[in-house]
Chain A
Amino acid sequence: MAEITFALPDLGEGLQEATVLEWLVAEGDFVERNAPLVEVETTKSAVELPSPQAGTVARFHAAEGESLEVGASLITFTVDDDTAGIVGTVPVEEAPARRVRLQLPED
């Protein structure tokens, strides 16, 4: 088994931190990729982040109500060794930041 840690993604528009509102999974849960993972609040909005990874939740790096800087560790998954090599590219393909544009379109 291997561990993979994901950081809080850039939520856009210069926002440098977010607060964990509610974890939608529990430590020890197996989570499918793109399943609801966590709700976070910024100064402008609330967003639900989908899981960037299929795997077992090893641990959270922030409790509900805690603030995190963008880029700080958010969650660690345990995955099979043979998938660990592949999944390193997955977050790039499906950057959660695409879903959470925090500003009105410019038209």
Chain B
Amino acid sequence: MSTARTAITADGMRIAYERHPGDDPVLLVHGFATTGALTWEATGWVRALAEAGRGAIVPDLRGHGGSSAPHEPSAYSPQLLAGDLLAVLDAENLDRVDVVGYSMGSWVTLALVGIEPERIHRVVVGGIGTVEQFARWGVDAVRSALLDGTESVPPESPLAPLLSSLRQAPGVDTTALAACVAGMAAHPLPLASSVPTMLVVGDVDPVTEGREEAAAALGAELVVLPRRNHVTTLSARAFKQAALPFLGAVVSV
């Protein structure tokens, strides 16, 4: 069974995470407005890693799930959220890990590589291209959709269904999410990697605009999953079948 634990960051945030048993655990980093469990457990990732003999560490980033949720935009940046991951690695006494990130979690993963490359073995990032999505659709519009429930983000935006579902979800800290949007968009995307990197995208995911350029900038192998969008890429068996061997895991399926 997994164990629920908490780590404390350098700036005093409590970061909730689950430690799933197994050797050489893989750090799994979720995206915006979701949780570690929804992103990596419900989609079968933790089970796939376990079948390959690997453990998993599944944190909730600040502003999300069971972790601290500051309301100031200054508490959010790719580097500050990467600090959440560092606190978890320190709490688990892990010198060096493989990391899988998705969507906003990919940017946090790449920021972590920039800060502490010697602690990262290999990374798989997914669901990104070259475009910062909050700035792309308007930081003020996204914040307004979160805080006031206005339909200020165009319906063709991949953010629109997410924002719509958040409006119907009781208990989500939309003020923290709005601060996250402002803080993340105020910093340049960390589009670089100094460790072995793979980029996995859904063929019909508009969030991954600029994917070839992004893969080149990362020096990454690019894997494109046919017919998959930003949501359905995550649960795809083809994603796991590409990522696990890259991370040195033996895949049985």
Contact = CB atoms under 8 A, between A and B. Distances in A.
B131 interface: no
Interface residues of A, number: 24
A89 interface: no
Contacts of A102: 38, 42
A107 B171 contact: yes
Given A36-B237, A43-B165, A104 B231 contact: no
Given A24-B237, A39-B236, A46 B66 contact: no
Given A24-B253, A36-B47, A36-B253, A101 B165 contact: no
A99 B2 CA distance: 13
Contacts of A36: 44, 47-48, 237, 253
12 contacts: A21-B232, A39-B235, A41-B231, A41-B235, A46-B43, A47-B44, A47-B235, A101-B37, A103-B172, A104-B38, A104-B172, A105-B171
Given A36-B48, A50-B47, 12 more contacts: A36-B47, A39-B232, A39-B237, A44-B165, A45-B38, A48-B43, A99-B42, A103-B171, A104-B33, A104-B171, A105-B35, A105-B171
B115 to A, nearest CB: 27
Interface of B: 33-35, 37-38, 41-44, 47-48, 64-66, 161, 165, 169-172, 231-232, 234-237, 253
B173 to A, nearest CB: 8
